[in-house]
Each structure stands twice: as C-alpha cells, then as structure tokens.
Structure 1
Amino acid sequence: MRIAINGFGRIGRTILRQVLAMPQETDIQVVLINDIAPLETCAYLFKYDSTFGPYPGEVAQGDAALTVDGRSFPMTHSPDLTRVDLSGVDVLLDCTGIARTSDVASQGLTAGAGKVLISGPSPAAEVTIVLGANEDKLGNARIVSNASCTTNGLAPLVAVLDQIGGIASAHMTTIHCYTNSQPMVDAPRGDLARSRAGALSMVPTTSSATHLIDEILPHLAGRISGAAVRVPTASVSAVDLVVSLARGMSPEAFQTELRGATDQSSVLGWTDQPLVSSDLRTRPESLVIAGPETRMVGDTQVRIFGWYDNEWGFSARMLDVARLMAGR
C-alpha cells in the first residue's frame, strides 16, 4: 500500500514513527510527505518529540527529502495539494485538520491519489469509520473520516456493551489532555472556558464524540450524551462511561462478558493493574479498559473507565483504516 501524508504535525509524525517501527517488508510504503513548514523544521520536530521522546535513529534532511535511518521520504511544501503529484498513491492520509469542506478534502483525489482518509471529523467525508464499531459501512468510499481519538475509544466500547446488555442510556466524560486548540496562556477563543491556559487548569468543554457516536451507531442515536474535561497533561486521555443497561445481569456475569468481548476485539485492551495515564503512552489500542475501575450498581447501571493514547492509538487506527480502504 502506497500512502502519502499531508500535514506533518502531531498525527502525521506519529504515523511515520509507527511505519518506521514496522518490519522492512511491511505492506505500507510512505511515498511522499507534504507540509507547509520548512524541511529543517519538519526534521527537527520529528527527531525531538516532547511527548514520545527523541527518535532513536538517525534523522537528516536531504535534497527535498526527510531521511530517517537511511530511508528517504520525499517532501513537498505546498499549501495547495492539487499542485503536488500524488499519482500512484493508494491512500492520502490528510492530517492537516483543515479538510472540512469538499473542495479541500478532494484536493488529494485531484492530485492523483486513489482515496483520502481524514484524521478527524469532517462534514466533507462520504462516511465516518471507527474500527471495531462500523467498518462494515466503508464500502468503496473515496473520502473517509477516521472520526476523533475519543470516538475511536468510545464507539468500540459502546458497540460491545450494546451486544452484552443493550444500552438504554449512557453518559460519557472524556478526561482529555490539552491540545493545540487551547492557548498556553489566557487568550480569546470561541469557547470562554477554552480561552484559559490549558496547562494550568482543568477545563470543562464539549466533545465531538457526542454527535459522532450517533452517526457511527445510528440505532443508538439520542441515547448517549457526552462532555469533556481538558486536563493539564500532555498525552493519554480517558473515557469515563456510565451506562444504564437495557437488560439486567449480575456484576460477575457482566465482568466476564466484558472481559471476553475485549479479549476478542482487535482495538480494545484490558488491564488489571492500577495504572496511571503515563503508563499508557504509546499503547496502540483504541481504548484500554481499566478492570479495577469497573463498577456496577444494581443489575443495570455500570461504570466503565478506559485509557487511550489520543495520538498513538489514533495514528494506529489511521493506518488500519487506510489498509481497509486500499483493499477495496
């Protein structure tokens, strides 16, 4: 599978790190990277990462290319992707965060890519796919959204819970690390609370997962609400989900069924250890359920807590969904 990366920010750089960690004979080949930042800046930020640590190998900048461990990745720096030759690219991974209109989202197709996968919610996508929840809806769509990191953690869990006991209603709170959408010092934003310094306070706000879950699992539309609290940590977030089950069951039966379903899932993980957020850094799962934090009240109300590395896990799903798209 030949892929190109448009936008070499947090997700774009993490995707490349994951590809480089694969065996040399991997089916994924990164044939081009496009970013508006200078090559020197891109190379520096790839080598020195405040979250994941320095890249352990050799990083250099060649002739219009980023060279990592002797492997050369051609780089372009065009704000207009239609000016870049993407012929022969199976899937363009658009990691810019700006592909929200059809004219922007379709630039990769115009440039020659077979399909486009957007690293976030986008009204321009033909379909929004979350692995473990609705990948059967992919079809042969050419512009696909990979949803959000929180939705990738929430939707597979909701799908499993709906199979186990049915969902009458639920509320999700994501405890989410700060991101570039928040200022480092108080500065105006559309949301007054998110105008406050992200590294100094816990900030209550909204989550795109609230409406995306209705799109991904439409038979549960209107039953699940959600909110977010941004917290002063740089990586790894959590889903705290309280569910009223449609069918009553004992705590022992629920725990057994949840653990069994998690073991069979390709995107859900489980831990029985008393972990903290930093322990989950670079975990590839969409969500790692914390077994000791599962609680049940009566025979229908249950609380599930799970961790997710909102950059590393989401980037892993970008590659997984790109594989599915390329195979269609």
Structure 2
Amino acid sequence: MTDADWNERIALAEAMIPLLGRLRRERNVVTSIFGRRLENVTETGIIKSHRYARRIINEELPLAQTLPILEQLVEMDLGTASIDLGTLATRHEEVGGDLRAFLDAELAEVIGRNEETPKTDVVLYGFGRIGRLLARILLTRQADHNGPVLRAIVVRQGAEDDIVKRASLLRRDSVHGAFDGTISVDRENNVIWANGTPIQVIYSDDPATVDYTAYGIDDAVVVDNTGRWRDRAGLEQHLRATGVARVLLTAPGKGDVKNIVYGINHKGITDADRILSAASCTTNGITPVLKVVNDKWGVAHGHVETVHSFTNDQNLIDNFHRGSRRGRAATLNMVLTETGAAKAVAKALPEFEGKLTGNAIRVPTPDVSMAVLNLTLEREVTREEVNDYIREVSLRSVLRQQIDYIHSPEVVSSDFIGTTHTGIVDGLATIAAGRHLVLYVWYDNEFGYSNQVVRIVEEIAGARPIVLPKRKHLEEL
C-alpha cells in the first residue's frame, strides 16, 4: 500500500466520523461492519473494521462503498436501530440499482419509527468486577441509543472516602484499561458523575430498606452483583424496597429462579418474571456453542472442562478458605475446583438434562478463560464441516453476538480481553474423529459476560434495538 492509498483511506474515514456521530445522536442508530461496531472509533479504527470484512467476503471492504451509504442514512427518517453497513454494502453490490431505493426497502422496518425508547432506571447493587464493567457498558449504551439509564449503585460504606475510591476504581482498571470519558465526584451529594451522567451512591446493608424513590428512581431494574443471595427468598428482599420493579442476578440462580442466557432462552422472559438470573459466565460462554452443535449434529453426552482465570473469591496467598483448595495462592497455582456450569446449561437448554459433566481448573491469569467441550455426537462429523458451520453461524446468524470464530496460530488468552462475544471457538484446535468432537472455546469471563447481562437488562426494559439487515436463524444456514 502506498502513502497515497493510505492517505485516501484516512480522508474517507475522516468523512465518516461526523456521519456516524449524527446517526448516533440524532437517530439513535448504531452501526457496524459485519458485527464490528463503529462506536467512538478513530480513522484507523474505521479502516481496520473494513479490513475485518476479509473474514466474511474474502476481501477488504472499500470505504468508498460504505461512505455513500452513511451519507444516505443521515438523510433518512430512521428510528432506533443497529445497522450493519458491511451487509448492506455487499447486498447492494449484488443487486445493484439506485442506492436510496435499495436502502428504503432494506430499512423499511425503522423508517418513520421514531417513538421514544423506554427510559428504564437501572441500579447496580454491588460494585465489584462485574458491577463496574456493567456501569461502563450501560453508560456507553445509553449514549449510543438511549438505552436503560444507570441511576445508582448500592454498596456498604468501606471508608470515609469510600465514594472517591469507588470512582477511582471505575476510572482505572488493571485488566480493561482506563474509562473512556470523564469522571468526577460530588462528595456532598454522594454522586459520581460519569460522562455527564449522575450516578447516585447509596450506602446500605439491607436491600429491603432502600427507598429509591427518594432519589427520583422508580420501577427500577436492580442488578445484584454481590452473589450474597441466589434463591428467590433472598432476592425478594430487593422487591420489598420502594421503587423496584425487577431483579436480575449476575450469578447462577437457585431453585425456581429462571436462568437466562441471552440469545438462547431470553424469549421466555414474561412480564410476571420479577426475579431473573443471568446464569454464570461459563454457562453463557458454552451454551450458545452447545446449542449450535446439538441442533446440527445432536449431542449424546459430553464433558466440559473450564480453564478459568482466578477470581476474587480465592486467596492471593495460602490462607484459610471455606471452599476446598481455593485457600491456596491463586497467582501461584492451578487450582482444581468444581463448576456448576455443565448442569446449568440444562436450565437454558432442557434437552441437555443429564448429558453433561464438568470440572474447572483456576489458573494464574486475571481474565479470559477457556472451555474445552469434549462431546460424543449422534452422528459423525469432520473437523472442516464443524469449523465451516460455526464460522457461518458467527458471521450471519442470530447468534452472531454470542458466538465468534477465530482461525489463527498466534492468539492467546489476553487477545480476547474486551470481547463482547460470550464465546469464541478456536478453529485451529478443533478435533473431530467420527462421533467424537472436541471444541476449544475462549471467553472473557468479565466483559463478555457483562455484555450478556446488559442485553438482558435491555430486553426486559423493551430497549433492544432492531437489527438490520435481519440475521438468519440457524435452520436457514
């Protein structure tokens, strides 16, 4: 590539940035290139997103092909939507004809659809690893398309300067980097300001006694990140507080609490479901992949082994711990422990009841884990057949946000920090022999999982954007 070619691409990308901003601010429209979102991107980021298209169409997508689409979109009367420029560009190239007429037909579902997105209040009960990532994602999403609004966090006061420390932990993260924006603290009113959004800090030891309406918060979705209560009786304490409509647990729910894996069984959420669970990071990481394999070839039985980054419930150095083995130093050892993820899959996919076993090995990395799916199928498959199908699912199906696919000899766990997908199948590691299949699935057990939680929040708030062009159902692939 010559300097002239590069400069031409930079010029095209520069022209796209204000158009992307207008779509987001004026129309609540977020855009992507084959699923790679164009949000807060630089000129180089836009170019890289167009290069990413080689995974789908085997060639780089020209910026000169997507810029005219953006120029048309800003002039159209669009409602809230998530629009894939890559898919639109390739479809238009195939069918030809007048671009505006093509876009009018493809985007008819959201043209003139300008009703207000519901402004659901969200409260984060607990502000640890998942809570702070949820805050970051919610702040971004509400800026992108007026999604649910983060109104408050509830914590136990740990020190006199507690709010300053909470704000500092939101501002800086050793794994996920700095917060993208500005943060300030109003100590007098116990408010953290993040990108212009006031987040009320409420100090409480008892979820049932908080009066959220005193802070102007009502009919809120409370996302419980503490893990202290996982059954219905414990989580119902939140519903006794004033101003709470629903509760979502960021851990596997016990008893009759519905465990939701977005993309798999979220359509089963009803208005009567006031208490829900987002299951676990591992359950979210493996369930979509297991569904795809089971629907296509059938799973007779299998074993799930997770190689999981250490978490805050382990000890940094050897010390007493109520759990078996977790008292040994997390950063110095591989720690064999149990996981309920294999059994939990059946709560989202009942057809897996009794089919899976599982164990976990905690390892000395701070984030990103791997699940090894050792499966016996109902019919024979080849490695190429499995990889080709999962790649197609990751690019064109309704599970594109959940499943990704990679085929690189160089990737390691840190390359997946910050992925919004729940599981990434490593195609080079796939093993197939007759009915025996082994899949290696990477997942960011913090950020990928947090994105799934936010998708559930948006679903129950009625604030999920319409995705266009429509993605294919699995049976259509």
- Check if 1:108 corresponds to 2:238: yes
- Check if 1:246 corresponds to 2:378: yes
- Equivalent in the alignment of 2:414: 278
Change (3 A) 1:73 1:258: same
Provide the secondary structure at the position in 2 that maps to 1:53: coil
Provide the secondary structure at the position in 2 that maps to 1:107: helix
Of 3, 7, 14 in structure 1, the residue corresponding to residue 133 of structure 2 is 14
Structure-to-structure mapping, 1:179-198, within 5 angstroms: 179-198=311-330
- Equivalent in the alignment of 1:306: 441
Structure-to-structure mapping, 1:156-235, within 5 angstroms: 156-235=288-367
After superposition, the C-alpha distances for 1:273-325 in whole angstroms (9 at most, x for unaligned) are: 2311111001011101111111112x211111111111101111111011222
Q: TM-score, normalised by structure 2?
A: 0.66
Q: 8 Å contact 2:259–2:277 — kept in the other structure?
A: yes
Q: How many Å apart are 1:154 and its aligned residue?
A: 1.0
Provide the secondary structure at the position in 1 that maps to 2:323: coil
Q: How many Å apart are 1:71 and its aligned residue?
A: 2.3
Provide the secondary structure at the position in 2 that maps to 1:248: coil
CA distance in 2, matches of 1:53, 1:250: 40
- Equivalent in the alignment of 1:129: 260
- Check if 1:42 corresponds to 2:177: no
CA distance in 1, matches of 2:411, 2:298: 29
CA distance in 2, matches of 1:77, 1:276: 40
Aligned length: 327
Larger Rg: 2
Q: 8 Å contact 2:343–2:354 — kept in the other structure?
A: no
- Equivalent in the alignment of 1:316: 451
Say which structure, 1 or 2, has more relative contact order (CA 8 Å, 6+ apart): 1
Q: 8 Å contact 1:4–1:89 — kept in the other structure?
A: no
Aligned alpha-carbon RMSD (Å): 1.8
Q: 8 Å contact 1:131–1:156 — kept in the other structure?
A: no
Which amino acid in 2 is paired with 1:279?
D
CA distance in 1, matches of 2:263, 2:194: 33
Provide the secondary structure at the position in 2 that maps to 1:227: strand
Q: 8 Å contact 2:391–2:404 — kept in the other structure?
A: no
CA distance in 2, matches of 1:101, 1:126: 7
Change (3 A) 1:70 1:327: closer
Which amino acid in 2 is paired with 1:72?
P
Counting aligned pairs with the same residue, the percent is: 30
**Bigger mean CA deviation after superposition, 8-17 or 188-197:** 188-197
CA distance in 2, matches of 1:94, 1:124: 17
**Bigger mean CA deviation after superposition, 195-204 or 257-266:** 257-266
Q: How many Å apart are 1:35 and its aligned residue?
A: 1.1
Q: How many Å apart are 1:25 and its aligned residue?
A: 4.2
Q: TM-score, normalised by structure 1?
A: 0.94
**Deviation >4 Å, runs of 4+:** none
Provide the secondary structure at the position in 2 that maps to 1:117: strand
Q: 8 Å contact 2:405–2:425 — kept in the other structure?
A: yes
Change (3 A) 1:49 1:125: farther
Q: How many Å apart are 1:122 and its aligned residue?
A: 2.3
Change (3 A) 1:133 1:314: same
- Check if 1:91 corresponds to 2:221: yes
Change (3 A) 1:125 1:49: farther
Task: Name stretches of at least 5 consecutive residues in structure 2 with no aligned partner.
Answer: 1-119, 464-477
Q: 8 Å contact 2:373–2:439 — kept in the other structure?
A: yes
Which amino acid in 2 is paired with 1:121?
P
